[in-house]
Chains A and B, each alone.
Chain A
Amino acid sequence: MTSLAFENVSVQYDGRTAVHGFTDTIKPGEWLCIIGPNGAGKSSLLRAITGVAPHGGRILVDGSPLTARSSRRRAQLIAYVPQSPVLPSGMTGAEYVLLGRNPFVTHFGHETAHDHSMVDDVIARLDLADLAKRDVDTLSGGERQRLVIARAIAQEAPILLLDEPTSALDIGHQQQALELVDKLRREHGLTVVSAMHDLTLAGIYSDRLALMHAGHRVAHGPAEDVLRPETLGEFYGVSVRVHREDDGTIIVVPNRTSLR
């Protein structure tokens, strides 16, 4: 199991700072969910971890900085499920999952028999056999999402990043995708960082929430500490009620203010 730490991490695009001094430590096997309004810097933080966006400060994996590693080595440690993944048309499901093996193949090399059987194994475990031979163009949103998660699992990285993994899915497929991540996380001891909009789901599945606003981490902790009407009202500008179920589940319900 692998830890992930942020020391004063900042991300800038074209002179605009998207993330200001983010500091946090994610324990091995922990699921941290980053919440916050649109443009708060959630995706930018995830993109910094993948190496897509350059960052200031330090991001440490098991205590050593990410920037000290080659892009291949980093991809062996960190798998990324983007918000709107590109599934190239004409590719079969199995070929798409095979892309996850790229960090283990040298620049001029080709996938070995081990890589191929690894992919077969992931496809069997995630119950994707019926998608393996199909063109990714013909798949539904839920099927595509399962395939993208399968690609990330084939990457065998101890850290899994999810950017809005459920935003394009109906409630059934949302649950299916998050249950899959949760199951894989327990089986493999994955450390998970996800950005999510659905606060109730974020609270149910994660161990801890970090609320971001305008690039700053403004609150963090367990769901019952972060998902409070005053906090959400201040940073999302919303009016909500928060229910606590008997099992500890926090439910966030928007108030219909037009009636008042």
Chain B
Amino acid sequence: MSSSTETHSTVHGASRWLIPVSVVALLLAVLGGVMIGPAGPTWWRVPLELLNRLPFITIHSGMTATDWSIIWQIRAPRVVLAALVGSTLSISGASYQGVFRNPLVDPYLLGVAAGSGLGATIVITVNRSGSSGWIIDPLPLAAFLGGLLAVLATYLVGASVKNDRSSISLVLAGVAVTSLATAVQTFLLQRNSDVVRQVYSWILGRLSSATWGDVRLVIPYVLVSTVALLMHRRLLDVLRVGDEEATALGVNVSRVRLIVVVAATLGTAAVVAVSGLIGFVGIIVPHAIRLVVGSSYRIVLPMSLLFGAVFLIVADIPGRILDNPAETPIGVVTAFLGAPFFLLILRTRQAQR
């Protein structure tokens, strides 16, 4: 018998350096995110000014007050929101893939996207004159509630099927709810074609208008969701043997599935409410991570969290400068960057085998 944990055959040796390396990558991405942009100070002044802001350090970066407010009021919330949205979509996607044991599902599987889209469409249609008279902005609220209601409907329909021994009825219910919500949304848009452009731009997703207010809005949900999902990473590994064997191993499969779906939906609905539907992240990031570090959810979930943040921060940078002054939608950039990146990893992995 071995004396220390490191020598056990079930403990990975290589996984210890993965998390520190990812944290460094995240810090570099954050730095890049606040340094690069169409307006504001020269890029090299930014790290100097950031150091200057630390206690006990005084460096003259030559940055004006306007420059600093561009960094702090425009770029910083955008970078933080990108990190929160990217990490939430990635970890939710990975968790959904775990509980449904299907590598092709994304966090929008059970209807979050369609529900949020419908909620946003209703608000934009009804409230054409703008939301300036409101105490709180109704758009993210409606999108958030729409997403949650859609998944609730999916769950109620899916769970009402008797003698269900798999998650298939849940997935089918998700398809039905998505179709229904999309149909209602299409109907609304047909009747109100003047808001099509506005709704379409919401659906494509954006981080450009991010404020610290958005960050404050999503952070409670994102935190609860992330902690709950991370706490289930071991059970997601047990579920990989299938519902029956997991049950025989003492797992209450339907309870685990419910908790994970609720947690992932809460986080996803919250980030969708402020950033729109940013596709691709929830599938591509967990898969890229699996290809590099293996398929155990104990590593995949924390790595998805970190690299989802890195990916979306980095993906948000080209959009700012490519098409200045217009912004390229973030959803377009994630697909544009993500697809070749994914193919590259896939090819190098196959070459190694």
B240's nearest neighbour on chain A, judged by CB, is A88
Measured in the bound complex, the distance between the Cα atoms of B1 and A78 in whole Å is 26
Residues of A203-238 contacting chain B, CB below 8 A: none
Cβ of A29 within 8 Å of any chain B Cβ, yes or no, is no
Our pick among B2, B9, B231, B244 for the contact of A52 (Cβ within 8 Å) is B244
Q: Contacts A72-B250, A91-B240, A119-B8; is A82 near B296 (CB within 8 Å)?
A: no
A74 / chain B contacts, CB cutoff of 8 Å: 250
Residues of A118-133 contacting chain B, CB below 8 A: 119-121, 123, 129, 132-133
B248 lies within 8 A of A116 (CB): no
Cβ of B179 within 8 Å of any chain A Cβ, yes or no, is no
Measured in the bound complex, the distance between the Cα atoms of B2 and A74 in whole Å is 30
A-contact 0/1 string along B223-245, CB 8 Å cutoff: 00000000110110110111011
Our pick among A92, A102, A121, A155 for the contact of B251 (Cβ within 8 Å) is A102
Cβ of B294 within 8 Å of any chain A Cβ, yes or no, is yes
Cβ of B339 within 8 Å of any chain A Cβ, yes or no, is no
Measured in the bound complex, the distance between the Cα atoms of B54 and A219 in whole Å is 83
A113 / chain B contacts, CB cutoff of 8 Å: 5, 8
Cβ of B167 within 8 Å of any chain A Cβ, yes or no, is no
Cβ of A165 within 8 Å of any chain B Cβ, yes or no, is no
Of the stretches A58-66, A104-112, A250-258, the one at the interface is A104-112
Cβ of A117 within 8 Å of any chain B Cβ, yes or no, is yes
B9 lies within 8 A of A133 (CB): yes
B238 lies within 8 A of A132 (CB): no
A119 lies within 8 A of B290 (CB): no
B9 / chain A contacts, CB cutoff of 8 Å: 92, 94, 119-120, 123, 129, 132-133
B237 lies within 8 A of A99 (CB): yes
Residues of A25-58 contacting chain B, CB below 8 A: 47, 50-52
B241 lies within 8 A of A47 (CB): no
A99 lies within 8 A of B249 (CB): yes
Min CB–CB distance B76 → chain A (angstroms): 34
B10 lies within 8 A of A71 (CB): no
Measured in the bound complex, the distance between the Cα atoms of B1 and A132 in whole Å is 15
Residues of B1-57 contacting chain A, CB below 8 A: 1-2, 5, 8-11
A-side residues, CB < 8 A to B, are 13-14, 47, 50-52, 70-76, 78-80, 82, 85-92, 94-95, 97-100, 102-103, 105, 107-111, 113, 116-117, 119-121, 123, 129, 132-133, 155
B-side residues, CB < 8 A to A, are 1-2, 5, 8-11, 163, 231-232, 234-235, 237-238, 240-242, 244-245, 247-252, 290, 294-296
19 CB < 8 A contacts A-B:
A51-B247, A52-B248, A70-B250, A79-B248, A80-B248, A85-B241, A86-B241, A87-B241, A90-B296, A91-B295, A94-B10, A95-B237, A102-B250, A103-B249, A116-B8, A116-B11, A117-B1, A121-B1, A132-B9
